[in-house]
Every structure is written in C-alpha cells, then in structure tokens.
Structure 1
Amino acid sequence: MSAGNTFTALNIAVLTVSDTRTADNDTSGDLLQNKLQEAGHHCSERALVKDDVYAMRREVSRWIADDTTHVVLITGGTGFSGRDSTPEAILPLLDKEIIGFGELFRQVSYEQVGSSTIQSRCLGGLANNTLVFCLPGSNNACATGWDVILKEQLDATHKPCNFVALLTKGNASA
C-alpha cells in the first residue's frame, strides 16, 4: 500500500473502554464510527470492554494480529484517576510509540480545556503494521482527535506525509 494522490479506504476497528457505558449509550464510539465512515473508511468492527488491562489487551491484540485491520481507535480510560488504565494496557503492545500524537493532542486540547489537558494520557503507536490510537472518552476529545489530527494522517492524499504509507498488511480498497 502506498500513499499517493488516491484516497485509500482503511479498515478501522473502534474500541470503547468504560465501566459505565453500554452499546446503547456509547456516544464516543458512535462519534468515531460516524466520523471515520464520513471520511470514506470502513468500520471493520466495534467492541466495548470494561476498564480492565487484560480485556483491552485481548481485544486490541486480536485486531493487531488480523491482517485486514489497519487502524484501531480506542476511546476511554486515558485519564489520570481511578481505574483509567488504557495507556498501561496498550503501550506494551506497541512496536513503536508515536510520541507526537499525544503531544499534538494535548497542544490542541489546551485551547479547549486549558491546563486540564495535562491529565490526558492519550497515545498512539504502531504494532504489527497496525496503527493504534488511544483517545479520551469524551465526545469533544474524540472529535478533536479525529478532526484535527487523525482524519488527515489517515488520508493517503495528505501532504507532505501521512501514516497510510506505513500500512503494509492486508488490502485496503481505493
């Protein structure tokens, strides 16, 4: 798969991490699914798990091992309190961390929530040629992450560079 002037539809899985949400009220998961589909990508799978390190690792590991999943978007569990444990669950699975993702997210988020953004532990990385991004659980934070960063970086036509060229597994549809 190569980045170029042609849009490439990616297969993106969405995971919601929450001790309180259900499929009926998973608004941040719904938001991410709607945004990725509006951008022309495919929501290959959705899941919701409790904020449990091993439940998260099980689901994300399955997607990382799946040759048809290009990207995993995770919403929730990135805060600094209580049972928030998404970074601890996901970081050991990554081959490479995308340090700039968390840095840029917090920079953009600062304009919206001020210094409270330092409590966001969102992160991104690459695992088995699958991109993994962990976003906070609020709808506003998910919209910010998608609209300001991910939409462009998951678009093969975005210049001067994007992540699509790094995704070598499976076939994406043009």
Structure 2
Amino acid sequence: MSVQARQNQGVQSIGFGIITVSDTRTQETDKSGQFLIEAVKAAEHQIESYQLIKDEQSVIKKTIENLMVQPKVEAIIINGGTGIAKRDVTYEAVEALLEKELPGFGELFRYLSFTEDIGTGAMLSRAIAGVVNGKALFSLPGSTGAVRLGLTRLILPEIRHIVHELNK
C-alpha cells in the first residue's frame, strides 16, 4: 500500500489530546504545545484537550489515563520529559501504560533527529509510542524542533492509518 493510500485510509478527522510536560513552562511560553495545537488543526484534526503538567510520573500517568477514557480522544501527543535528566520521567510513565509499543516510532524519530536536526545528540532522546486502551500515544522531546519533526514526518503522515488499524 502506498503512503498516500495509507494516509487516506480510515477516518478523516482525529481527536487529539495534547500534553506538555514541564516544570518551567506556562501556557504562554509553551511554544511546542502551541505548535502542536496549530499544526494538528491545520491538518484538519481536532484538539479535544490541551494540558500543561509537571514532570512527575504519577501526574503524567493520571493525565494519560484520564484522556484515554475520553471517547473523542483517539490519539495523545506528549511533549517534554523524555531526556536523561533526573526530572525526566515521561518515558517511564508512558512505558508503564503501553499495551503495545511501536518501537519503530522511537527508532525513526532518533534517525531523523540524527540526520536532519541535532546529529549525535539524538541518542539522548527517549521518544516512545504505542497503544493504550485502543488509542495511539506518542511521546516526544519538548523542543519545538523535535515536536515539529515528530509531528510532521511521523505522526501526521500515519495517524489516519494508525487509528484505522486500532478501530478494526
């Protein structure tokens, strides 16, 4: 199946939940979260929820769990907290919830980050994606460049196909 055929498969508009994980950002300074909202809307999808939360594992897990039971949310994108600093615990929170991991997402994200964005610094990324409660979950680093790369090169080109597969 061609890329175009996969992109056109399934529902036309996806309901997204956006979560920014940060101890320092506010809604006014959350450039990555705002980029996600604008780009998802520009791709003719819906923003069902946007939340800015602290980088605490229990808070991240609870926020994801709350979004996963909302019927209009079909996909969640998290940005932030994926590095290797002590405070970066998004990966651990997401990994613990995944029913099925999509290892290719993290692999491709790091490859694209290496070749198109930050070079060898890509090895520090712990981007991860998978399925929770029959819904797609993507976790990206918090930089706007990383969010742009992950959304435009990986998530948006495949989201309709992913949601179609999850709803079969």
Alignment partner, residue 60 of structure 2 = 56
Q: Whole-Å Cα distance in 1 between the matches of residues 166 and 30 of structure 2?
A: 28
Q: Whole-Å Cα distance in 1 between the matches of residues 83 and 89 of structure 2?
A: 8
Paired residues in the alignment total 162
Partner letter of residue 150 of structure 1?
A: I
Superposition deviation, residue 67 in structure 1: 2.1
Alignment partner, residue 153 of structure 2 = 148
RMSD across aligned positions (CA): 1.7
Alignment partner, residue 118 of structure 2 = 113
* 8 Å CA contact retained: 2:17, 2:67: yes
Partner letter of residue 148 of structure 1?
A: R
Q: Whole-Å Cα distance in 1 between the matches of residues 49 and 149 of structure 2?
A: 22
Secondary structure of 2:81's partner? coil
Relative to structure 1, is the Cα distance of residues 4 and 142 closer, same or farther in structure 2, using a 3 angstrom cutoff?
A: closer
Q: Whole-Å Cα distance in 2 between the matches of residues 35 and 132 of structure 1?
A: 17
| Residue 167 of structure 2 corresponds to residue 168 of structure 1 | yes
| Residue 134 of structure 2 corresponds to residue 129 of structure 1 | yes
Alignment partner, residue 85 of structure 1 = 89
* 8 Å CA contact retained: 1:14, 1:74: yes
Superposition deviation, residue 166 in structure 1: 2.3
> Please, which of 49, 62, 73 is the counterpart of residue 77 of structure 2?
73
Q: Whole-Å Cα distance in 1 between the matches of residues 10 and 137 of structure 2?
A: 23
Alignment gaps of 5+ in structure 2: 1-6
Alignment partner, residue 4 of structure 2 = none
Identical amino acids, percent of aligned pairs: 33
Partner letter of residue 142 of structure 2?
A: G
Q: Which stretch has the larger CA shift, 114-123 or 62-71?
A: 62-71
Richer in helix (by share):
2
Secondary structure of 1:163's partner? helix
